[in-house]
Amino acid sequence: MNELSRSVLFSSLPSFISSLETTMILMTILLGQLGIDKKYQGKGMGKALVRSFVIPYSLGYCIRNSCIGILVYTKTSKEFYEKLGFQLIYEDESGGANYFYSLYKNVLEVRYRAFLA
3-state secondary structure at position 57: helix
* Per-residue pLDDT, 117: 83
Q: pTM score, two decimals?
A: 0.75
How are strands ordered across the β-sheet holding 97-102?
Answer: 29-31, 69-74, 97-102, 87-91
Question: Per-residue confidence of the chain (117 residues) as pLDDT tens digits?
Answer: 444 444 445 555 555 555 555 556 788 999 988 888 999 889 999 999 999 999 999 999 999 998 999 999 999 999 999 999 999 999 999 999 999 999 999 998 998 898 888
DSSP assignment letter at 70: E
3-state secondary structure at position 90: strand
Given CATH 3.40.50, say whether it is the number of domain 3-116. Answer: no
* Per-residue pLDDT, 25: 75
* Per-residue pLDDT, 62: 93
Phi/psi for 43 (5° steps) reads -110, 10
